[in-house]
Structure 1
Amino acid sequence: MNKKIIAAMSIVGALLITACGGGESPDTKSATSAAPQTETPAAPATGSYDPNRGEGKFSESNVTIGALDAAMAGKGKAIAETKCFSCHKTTGEKLVGPGWKGVTERHKPYWIMNFITNPDPMIDKDPKVQAQLEICLVRMPNQNLTDEDARNIVEFMRQNDGAK
């Protein structure tokens, strides 16, 4: 009985090896392995992504920051309590995502707004976000925030960082 099982497993193993490319000629293998490389999209050119601005509709020209607006910060805190605090803390401590302490000192307000309203393209392109992803291991989900929500959250982040 054991000899029959060993013989059957040997046949199955030989079939698997053959099915996984053992029967192709070297020329066929080269052509086959070259095809997926040409279909894989190229990495974005470094000049097409601005890590200081991020990717999205917000920029220096359409996000104006002045003195801290406490009413906006209050609205931002309420939104953050619902959408953000399950993954982020207001301290520097990591929860699921990184802590928020000092975020407005590390990034421009329009970069933050682009990231929280448009996280997927920035996760794919931004070197700092990719480095953070390696630490946190979880991609930030798109919370479908409005422009106003994003601006209010930035104001709350500014308040958290001691802006006056």
Structure 2
Amino acid sequence: MKKLIVFCLMSLFMYACSSNNNEKKEERTYAEESAPAASDASTYDPHRGEGKFDKVEVGEKLDVAMANDGKVIADLKCASCHKMTDEKLVGPGWKGVSERRKPEWIMNFITNPDAMIDKDPELQAQLEICLVRMPNQNLTDDDARKIYEYMRQNDGVK
């Protein structure tokens, strides 16, 4: 009975995390088709990831307003799977992520998780541990930047 309840809760959770916004899906599909895409993992850059972000300008000081906005977005879209500590929930904890990864990689993963999971060996290994693919939350570039700033705040940037 417990297994059935857990299965039902996980199914409900996965449904809630997915988007049913057809307009956004069509827009994303068009963008993916029109962008030059790498055909295989051999062209994958593990420092930048797979996506449109080549260079993200980040100041030495934290943008507090952006971090506060990022917290609101993360509480809505991310907190059901990620803790701000190093403890795993459904996905890995966020503690130290902005120190371990470049901003381009993080923002590309936030906005383009499917392509990165398909090509990044470290993400594939993480998937073996977590057992759940990160869903595409259809976040805007601006939302991704705000979440990144919130991650920096969590990692102690002032």
TM-score interval (norm. to shorter): 0.7 to 0.9
Instruction: Confirm or deny: 8 A CA contact 2:41 2:119 kept in the other structure.
Output: no
Instruction: Confirm or deny: 8 A CA contact 2:53 2:107 kept in the other structure.
Output: yes
Amino acid at match of 1:102: G
Residue 37 of structure 2 is aligned to residue 44 of structure 1:
no
1:127 CA displacement? 1.0
| Identity across matched positions, percent | 75
Q: Which residue of 2 aligns with 1:116?
A: 110
Q: How many residues align?
A: 119
TM-score by length of structure 1 reads: 0.71
Residue 47 of structure 2 is aligned to residue 71 of structure 1:
no
1:21-60 alignment runs, 5 A limit: 44-46=40-42, 48-60=43-55
| Correspondent of 1:139 among 133, 149, 158 | 133
Residue 90 of structure 2 is aligned to residue 92 of structure 1:
no
Amino acid at match of 2:44: Y
1:44 CA displacement? 2.0
In structure 2, the CA distance between the partners of 1:45 and 1:103, relative to structure 1 (3 Å rule), is closer
1:116 CA displacement? 0.5
> How big is each residue's C-alpha offset from its partner over 1:122-148, in whole Å with a ceiling of 9 and x where there is no partner?
000001111111110100000000000
Amino acid at match of 1:135: I
In structure 2, the CA distance between the partners of 1:45 and 1:129, relative to structure 1 (3 Å rule), is closer
Alpha-carbon distance in structure 2 between the residues aligned to 1:147 and 1:44 = 25
Q: Higher Cα Rg: structure 1 or 2?
A: 1
Alpha-carbon distance in structure 2 between the residues aligned to 1:143 and 1:64 = 23
Q: Which residue of 1 aligns with 2:120?
A: 126
Instruction: Confirm or deny: 8 A CA contact 2:41 2:120 kept in the other structure.
Output: no
1:45 CA displacement? 4.5
SS of the aligned residue for 2:84 comes to coil
> How big is each residue's C-alpha offset from its partner over 1:70-101, in whole Å with a ceiling of 9 and x where there is no partner?
00000000000000000000000000000000
Instruction: Structure 1: state its 5+ residue gaps.
Output: 1-42
Q: Which residue of 2 aligns with 1:104?
A: 98
SS of the aligned residue for 2:135 comes to coil
> How big is each residue's C-alpha offset from its partner over 1:10-42, in whole Å with a ceiling of 9 and x where there is no partner?
xxxxxxxxxxxxxxxxxxxxxxxxxxxxxxxxx
